Chain A
């Protein structure tokens, strides 16, 4: 019997290498996005314009040989511009009927570019699609093609002309990945690759079936009870009050993570265990999966913002506070 962990690792690394041909540096960003895809989760990429977010998503679609659509979110974008609309069309027999014209959401990889430039109403048009993989319009439910991923990019909220994403929308993203500014060497590499005669393009290395198989492997990874309890304790630790609350949460947070946060932590930990060649999840996997899964699910209070703390800072404090079950003391 072949080791499923090895097969998973091999596919994952192949995909990572292919995307790496196009994207200079940003290894951690690429890995985090691929982990989300392997866990069948949507990703929110945050970074200033020009860091290659759109290129990353497009390259990923190309490497996976998946359908790809891109929607540029603007303040005047309407929900129908994403989902689709009913058009009055003439029948060949002379009559007229309403026909649903599918929007760009009917794809496998949807790039919601600069999603925080649209109004919350338009942002919320993606809620059903992200949660259930379907769209309902005019009383009719339309299934989206699988596997379906939303990879959204957003500019930091400090920039003008942006709308913060609603909490319900944020909660549907598996993880939030911060795209840092490239280093000097990485910047040089970008210039070399993009100002030459030929720009590199990602080639298909996996297909949808491979991706689905990877996702199924992820869900079978073994998870011990103490490890699961540790992950759940972290989620409870983000709540400012109640059982399991931590001092950091009580001081800096207004709201904690939802159960979707716990799902994201466990799934992310499972993927990381496979990437490490292990069939079982360890405490380290849970801890590493916690930050990208929780940073957009906790809401800072006024004091934390006044102190200039970020969600990452507070989640890190929570992780420090939640103890690992390390066995009976001697």
Chain B
């Protein structure tokens, strides 16, 4: 845009100045309106924060600071807007022309070159401008109307929202939020908070956490701690509690696995039930499964009961070695119960209904008959808590949910590890080093490494071939029958293979008619994901056709035919 010098004509200059002043005034008004908008928005946020207990003094109690913010917003908006530099002379002249309807006479006048302008036409222009220009003409001042900023159309909504929010009840209870500055009140609030935590947990807080709460409450009551410190400390305690619960969940998950493994040699059905229940985080169901096992145990021959007791004892010893003392005790007691079932008809203290076997024989186990100092089991039976009671005790501590989380985390970790193990393995190494890997592991499966194919399976022979190569082949072929849906998904998770090496080897195996050709394929390049999987290809074609039709601008009357053509290609 060329730089224009002030017009020579004083009337034009005065008119442009009047337009400039009016423009500045209107801008200040717009800025003030924006300031109102901002102030109301701050007020609304303030009210909502007060309802949420995030600020100490919500509106309307704290109207003074808010009014100050509102006033400051208005003043700042007006000042900033009015101080913005005015547009150039050309822009002002265009505005003047629009106001006066002078057909761009003003903008032509301010843009006239100082020389070479045709004098006769310049004179004609000046005459024309004089007819329309009068600085005292109110049209110049009044022509420019105030246009509110677009976003201020929301002002009424904002006002209604603000008023409505003022009448809202507090969105959170005073127990957790809206802390006061009074330490004594804060102490009472902490007491409520501790009770709420205990209710949530379903058990008493751990001793160290409980003690910390007590100390804090005492400090508050004695005026030795402020509100902020109390709030911070309480949050730390809650976090510590969460961490403890998570740690307990991990430990319980480990115990449950051990228990399930121990029961494998005792009662397979109970072992499966316990495993399923632990996956669900349902400790009560696990306890019931153990009780059902006890019922079944009573109907078994003495030899089997003896064998089960031995297995449980062995598991108890292993648990003790692993540091799970409580589980070890429970398993030991369960072993005693199993043996007690055998001797129930002659055992002392046992009930005829058999719901609780009598304690084990003295001298068989140091823990037989229950731990010293513990109350006897319900029903007046002697002996310590068994596995069912141990599980119920854990459940009472609210560790069922933590157990579920821990299980989930552990399973996910196992799956990820299996997936990682399956990447890039050489089948020979895998066969030698990990001959019995589980599902999802091993070379040739998953995304990389080796793959093999053959025309025979060892299932045809009904026997397992010997030798490393045979094991490799066997494992690959097994994989084909494992989970065809998973295989299909993996195969169609499209990958671009670059640099494939295929090696065909003849393997002398005693199956079928003799040697079997096995082709190993090795991908030497790195894998790279394609833009989409195979199953997305038809849809991709359709979208490409639609885009082509849109992009080429096919006339409407031909579009159907063009679409038919693309459909035919597809």
A83 within 8 A of B: no
In the bound assembly, the distance between CA atoms of A225 and B1 in angstroms comes to 8
Per-residue CB contact flags for chain A residues 313-330 toward chain B (1 = under 8 Å, else 0) read 000000000000111111
Q: Which residue of B lies closest to A308 (CB)?
A: B555
Q: Return the contact of A224 from the options B26, B104, B144, B556 (Cβ within 8 A).
A: B104
Asked if A327 meets B556 with Cβ closer than 8 Å, knowing A5-B124, A224-B111, A279-B124, the reply is no
- Distance of A162 from chain B, by nearest CB (Å): 23
A326 to B96, CA, bound (A): 10
B282-304 near A? 1/0 per residue, CB < 8 Å? 00000000000000000000000
Q: Give A27 Cβ to nearest chain B Cβ, in Å.
A: 23
- Contact in complex: A226, B103 (CB < 8 Å): no
A-contacting residues, B80-121, CB 8 Å: 86-87, 90-98, 103-105, 107-108, 111-112, 117-121
State whether B146 touches A280 (Cβ < 8 A). no
Given known pairs A226-B107, A281-B104, the reply for A307 and B556 (CB within 8 Å) is: yes
Residue of B nearest to A304 (CB): B553
Report yes or no: B147 in contact with A329, Cβ–Cβ below 8 A. Answer: yes
Let me know if B90 and A280 touch, CB within 8 A. Answer: no
SS class, residues of chain B in contact with chain A: helix
For window 1-25 of A, CB contacts with B under 8 Å fall at 1-5
Q: Does A170 contact B (CB under 8 A)?
A: no
Contact A328–B120 (Cβ < 8 Å): no
A55 within 8 A of B: no
Complex-state Cα separation, A279 to B103, whole angstroms:
10
- Residue among A325, A329, A330 with max Cβ neighbours from chain B (10 Å): A330
Asked if B104 contacts A280 (CB within 8 A), the reply is yes
CA distance A303 to B553 in the complex (A): 5
Interface positions of A from 268 to 290, Cβ below 8 Å from B: 276, 278-284
Q: How large is the interface on A (under 10, 10 to 19, 20 to 34, 35 or more residues)?
A: 20 to 34
Q: Are B125 and A326 in contact (CB under 8 A)?
A: no
Asked if B316 lies at the interface with its beta carbon under 8 angstroms from chain A, I say no
**Identity of the chain A residue whose Cβ is nearest the Cβ of B559 in the assembled complex:** A306
B484: Cβ under 8 A from any A Cβ: no
Query: Residues of A contacting B107 with CB < 8 Å?
Result: 224-227
Find chain A residues with CB under 8 A from B26 CB: 330
Task: Tell me which of A89-97, A104-112, A173-181, A215-223 binds B.
Answer: A215-223
Cβ of A203 under 8 Å from chain B = no
Q: Which residue of A lies closest to B27 (CB)?
A: A330
| Contact of B103 with A280 in the complex, beta carbons under 8 Å | yes
Within A45-103, the residues touching B (CB, 8 Å) are none
A258 within 8 A of B: no
A224-B107, A284-B103 are known contacts. Are A306 and B555 too (CB-CB below 8 A)?
yes
How near does chain B come to A20, taking the closest CB pair, in angstroms?
Answer: 27
Would A330 and B124 be within 8 Å (CB), given that A226-B94, A251-B553, A302-B553 are in contact? no
Q: Which of B1-58 contact A (CB under 8 A)?
A: 1-2, 22-23, 26-27, 30
Asked whether any CB of chain A lies closer than 8 Å to the CB of B352, the reply is no
Instruction: Give the residues in chain A near B98, CB-CB below 8 Å.
Output: 326-327
Q: A222 to B92, alpha carbons, bound, how many Å? A: 19
Decide: B103 and A223 in contact? CB cutoff 8 A: no
Complex Cα–Cα for A227 and B109 (A): 12
A226 cross-chain contacts in B, Cβ below 8 A: 90, 94, 104, 107, 111
Q: Are B108 and A224 interface neighbours, CB within 8 A?
A: yes
Q: Per-residue 0/1 for A214-243: is the Cβ within 8 Å of any B Cβ (1 yes, 0 no)?
A: 000000111111110000000000000000
Please measure, in the bound complex, the distance between the C-alpha atom of A252 and the C-alpha atom of B95, giving whole angstroms. 34
Quick check: is A186 within 8 A (CB to CB) of the other chain? no
In the complex, which residues of chain A have a beta carbon less than 8 angstroms from the beta carbon of B481? none
Distance, CA A251 to CA B128, complexed state (A): 42
| Binary contact readout A145-164 vs B (1 if CB under 8 angstroms, 0 otherwise) | 00000000000000000000
Interface positions of A from 125 to 143, Cβ below 8 Å from B: none
- What distance in Å separates the Cβ of A137 from its nearest Cβ neighbour in chain B? 40
B123 at the A interface (CB under 8 A): yes
Shortest beta-carbon distance from B147 to chain A in Å: 6
* Contact present for A307 and B121 (CB under 8 Å): no
Whether A1 touches B103, Cβ cut-off 8 Å, given contacts A226-B90, A330-B26, is no
Q: In the docked arrangement, what's the CA distance between A251 and B94, Å?
A: 32
Bound complex: CA A327 to CA B97 (Å) = 9
Contact residues of A between 247 and 277, Cβ < 8 Å to B: 251, 276
19 A-B pairs with C-beta separation under 8 A: A4-B124, A220-B118, A222-B112, A222-B118, A224-B111, A251-B553, A279-B125, A280-B108, A284-B103, A301-B553, A302-B554, A306-B555, A327-B87, A327-B96, A327-B98, A328-B87, A328-B95, A329-B147, A330-B30
14 extra interface residue pairs, beta carbon distance < 8 Å, beyond A227-B108, A280-B121:
A2-B120, A225-B2, A226-B94, A226-B104, A279-B121, A279-B124, A279-B128, A280-B104, A280-B125, A282-B103, A301-B553, A306-B558, A328-B86, A330-B146
Instruction: Give the 3 A-B CB pairs with smallest separation, nearest first.
Output: A306-B555, A303-B553, A327-B94
Interface residues of A (CB under 8 A from B): 1-5, 220-227, 251, 276, 278-284, 301-303, 305-307, 325-330
Interface residues of B (CB under 8 A from A): 1-2, 22-23, 26-27, 30, 86-87, 90-98, 103-105, 107-108, 111-112, 117-125, 128, 144-147, 553-558
